[in-house]
């Protein structure tokens, strides 16, 4: 699925960005601005670091509870991102995400991304996000 594939490429900036429209708009908890385009998103993300040059491992980021709707060449994806230091570690961050996607000659790409941090403790432990 699109979302799982997106986050499977989290450490590969070019592969990740290939799934973003060049003029993507982004709301992120870490920045009050509406980011417009990949260049402004890069201001928030910082420089890309090749996997072989990393001194610390990437966290495990797993989309769960995915709800997808499609109307022709437009779709909306809603999901939670569970962030862990490693497999089996407790969830250290929880992010609620809504992505608007469009299909064009390059395939499905995100045209708007809205992410809000949620306190992991605020979600009931018995709630299954999957």
pLDDT along the chain (130 residues), means of 10: 91 92 95 94 82 77 97 98 92 96 96 94 57
- Give the pLDDT of residue 129: 53
Residue 107 in domain: yes
Residue 103's domain spans which residues? Answer: 2-48+56-122
What sign does the CA torsion over 29, 31, 34, 36 have?
Answer: negative
Looking at residue 57, its pLDDT comes to 78
Residue 75's Cβ-side half-sphere holds a number of Cα atoms within 13 Å equal to 18
Q: How many domains does the chain have?
A: 1
**pLDDT recorded at residue 125:** 56
Which CATH number do you get for residue 6?
Answer: 3.10.450.50
Residue 9 pLDDT = 85
32, part of any domain: yes
pTM above the 0.85 mark?
yes
Does any domain span residue 129? no
> In the prediction, which pLDDT does 127 show?
55
Domain assignment of residue 106, yes or no: yes
Structure tokens at 122: 């605020």
Residue 127 lies in a domain: no
pLDDT score recorded for residue 48: 72
List of E strands, 10-125? 20-28, 31-36, 60-71, 74-84, 91-104, 107-118
């Amino acid at each position: 699925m699109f979302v799982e594939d997106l986050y499977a490429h989290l450490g590969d900036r070019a592969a990740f960005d290939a799934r973003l429209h060049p003029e993507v708009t982004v709301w992120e908890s870490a920045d009050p601005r509406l980011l417009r385009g990949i260049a402004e998103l890069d201001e928030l993300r910082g420089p890309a670091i090749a996997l072989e040059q990393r001194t610390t491992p990437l966290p495990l980021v797993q989309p769960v509870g995915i709800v997808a709707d499609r109307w022709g060449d437009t779709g909306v994806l809603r999901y939670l991102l569970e962030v862990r230091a490693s497999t089996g570690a407790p969830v250290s961050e929880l992010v609620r995400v809504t992505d608007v996607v469009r299909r064009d000659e390059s395939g499905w790409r995100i045209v708007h991304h809205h992410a809000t941090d949620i306190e992991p403790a605020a979600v009931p432990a018995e709630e299954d996000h999957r």
